[in-house]
Amino acid sequence: MSLFDELRRQEPGLNDRQVLSVACRRLVRETRLHPPINPLALMGLRGIVGVEASRLAQLGCLVQLGNGRSVIHVRAQDHPIRQRFTIFHEIAHTLLPGYSGTQEFRCVENSKQPKEQLSNHAAAELLFPGLFFEGDLAWAGLTTKGLELLARRYQASLEATAIHAVDHWSSPAMCVVAKQPPLTTATLGSSDRPSLVVSYVHRQGVWPEAVNAYAILRSGVLEQTLAADARIDGTLTLNNDNQEQATRLRLSAKAYPFRTGGRRQNRVIALLTSA
């Protein structure tokens, strides 16, 4: 019987995500690992004999070698931190319900497939084990400064850390990631830089309708953060369209440029909680 099926039988009231969270906690406890979690011990427990960097179109894959053994392939051109998450994602596939050790997984970015989403969930539970992460988050706080500390401690990307931190914050929380489209030949040399575009919003808890990506972008705070090139910690007031009600939020934002395809791209990460 698989670990998943065994836990499902012990805890019939849990959904798939909750069963996976319990499985991940158990694995981290058994291996006595501490952050930053070394995936090698987890791979050994799940029959994965190694990691190879290959030229892949997709992020990664888990390839069966026979006799219950498998190997992880990660995309050679990805950043090591991205590859690290892919390794945890592939380990997580072996924990999923119905995993028989015979399938081959080819994993693409932002897939909406339930198995891919469950794998991402379990990967985050292994990368940021609750045993350590909950205390660390309470100590570091949901700010960009705290985010940087946590990303370094867990060797994870800022965005993956922000999403996990939002999910585990003790009250409603939100992160907004906005990116500036790269300069094209049409905009190169022009004084009009392309504006920031919200890449995605990740939220947890109940929020007023007025608090949405459009309202945050319209407030101008993301553009100000990019222009100031400094850490911004303060409050943000968002008005409803009818101007009758205002919502005060605590905001922490900073510009984090990154490189993609050899080019520098601007990005702002903003963390929001209710003030």
Q: Which residues bind Zn ion (CB under 5 A)?
A: 105, 107, 116, 119
Q: How far is the CB of 109 from Zn ion (least distance, A)?
A: 10
Q: Which amino acid is at 270?
A: A
Q: Shortest approach of Zn ion to residue 12 CB, angstroms?
A: 27
> For Zn ion, which is the closer residue by CB, 122 or 211?
122
Nearer to Zn ion, 108 or 230 (CB): 108
Q: Distances from the Cα of 15 to the Cαs of 5, 34, 89, 92, 204, in angstroms?
A: 12, 27, 19, 16, 18
Q: DSSP string spanning 190-239?
A: -S-PPPPEEEEEEEES---TT-SHHHHHHTTHHHHHHHHTS-EEEEEEEE
Report which residue's Cβ sits closest to Zn ion. 107
Q: Residue 115 CB, nearest distance to Zn ion (Å)?
A: 7
Minimum distance from CB of 107 to Zn ion (Å)? 3
- 105 vs 169 by CB, closer to Zn ion: 105
Helix (H, G, I), strand (E, B) or coil at 218: helix
- Interior angle at CA 96, CA 91 and CA 97, nearest 5: 160
For Zn ion, give the closer residue by CB, 118 or 175.
118
